[in-house]
Amino acid sequence: MTSNKKLLILPGDGIGPEVMRQVYRVVEWFDRKRIVRFDTAEGLVGGAAYDSAGTPLTDETMAQAQAADAILFGAVGGPKWEKLPFAVRPERALLRLRKELGLFANLRPAIVFDPLIGASTLKPEIVRGLDIMILRELTGGVYFGEPRGIETRADGTRRGVNTQVYTTSEIVRVGRVAFELGRKRKNKVCSVEKANVMESGELWREEMQTLHDADYPDVELTHMYADNCAMQLVRNPKQFDVIVTDNLFGDLLSDCAAMLTGSLGMLPSASLGEADSTGRRKALYEPVHGSAPDIAGKDMANPLACMLSFAMMLRHSFDMTEQADMVDAAVRNTLERGMRTTDIMQTGTARVSTSVMGDTLLRELDKLA
């Protein structure tokens, strides 16, 4: 039995605690079955932390996050805190965690589960069996580049400036994550930029190719322009396995890929930092959805995005492939049994609550153990 994997759980606001409760049950299940024991700690984050301590993330919680092997994050925000000054808004907690943990690689899988194929706006034959990974560089590029700002010119008109900038080291570190992910998947990486019109894109392409040739020649590497990638994602998404791209293009392409699946309540994500000397990376796992104040407290939220984020944690932080596959299979089987929360409801299926979805998932895990 493996033990002492330090896990920090930050449920947050709105439906965050509701979906996280179901993940807790799975953590306890793994412990009960003597498969793995996590050393778990829980903290307040977002509006909940503001209400208790006047800040969306206390220094103590930040220190716990620095010491953790992985962080599982629910969601933050809600109408109660919308009027707060920008510096103490719930969302600032996530930005601080990303910044101080150096989380530069954002992983967003887009998986179409057969029972939910009707939720996609694309034809079933285009998306059936889809399982791709978008890897977005998260801390560089045009969202952070200098100079930036809005200036007023001598003639009274204004000029807005942002700078797209990448260095070799920023490209190489996200490239390594891409090739390593590729090796765990179908061994195919597509690197995406606009090398035809942007020098930063030209550098991106050259550095990816150099890294590939030096350290990852066993992985298939292709290059694609971002506009073509957007088109290919809706034309024939199954041609891809791992797509690696910069912050700006990744922002757009990951949302586009997510919507191939059609359901926000099913989308997990991970953000990874630099590897330390043991190969362990700082890592935060969270569902893509927000705190859903419209359904909070009603036992209606879909817990599966949070559950799939937990499965990503098993896979990427702890190399527990078999256990991650089990959680993924339990999610798949829960859907096969016709269990649906309101957001993924279809005719001929049963509308169930968050907790009943959790009950079913545990029963499916029992069958797989």
Output 189 or 312, the one with its CB closest to ligand NAD.
312
301 counts as binding ligand NAD under rule CB under 6 A: yes
Binding marks (x or -) toward ligand NAD, 39..78, rule CB under 6 A? ------------------------------------xxxx
Angle CA(113)–CA(306)–CA(331) in degrees, nearest 5? 35
CA–CA dist 93, 353 (Å, integer): 29
Tokens 């034309």 belong to which residue? 235
Span near ligand NAD by CB under 6 A; candidates 24-32, 127-135, 167-175, 292-300: 292-300
Output 100 or 206, the one with its CB closest to ligand NAD.
100
> Which backbone phi and psi does 82 adopt, to 5 degrees?
-65, -30
Q: Quick one: the chain helix, strand, coil %, rounded to 5?
A: 45, 20, 30
From 6, 31, 131, 143, active-site residue: 143
The CA-atom distances, in angstroms, between 248 and each of 16, 144, 207 are: 27, 10, 18
> What number of chain residues touch ligand NAD (CB under 6 A)?
23
> Two tokens at 331?
């999610």
> Two tokens at 102?
């150096």
At its nearest, how many Å lie between ligand NAD and the CB of residue 57? 12
**Binding residues for ligand NAD restricted to 191-210, rule: CB under 6 A:** none
Output 166 or 310, the one with its CB closest to ligand NAD.
310
Q: Which of 22, 106, 291, 360 binds ligand NAD (CB under 6 A)?
A: 291
The CA-atom distances, in angstroms, between 238 and each of 129, 210, 252, 255, 368 are: 8, 26, 18, 16, 28
Please indicate whether residue 255 is annotated as part of the active site: yes
Please indicate whether residue 6 is annotated as part of the active site: no
Name the site residues for ligand NAD (rule: CB under 6 A): 15, 19, 75-78, 91, 94, 264-265, 286, 289-295, 301-302, 305, 341, 343
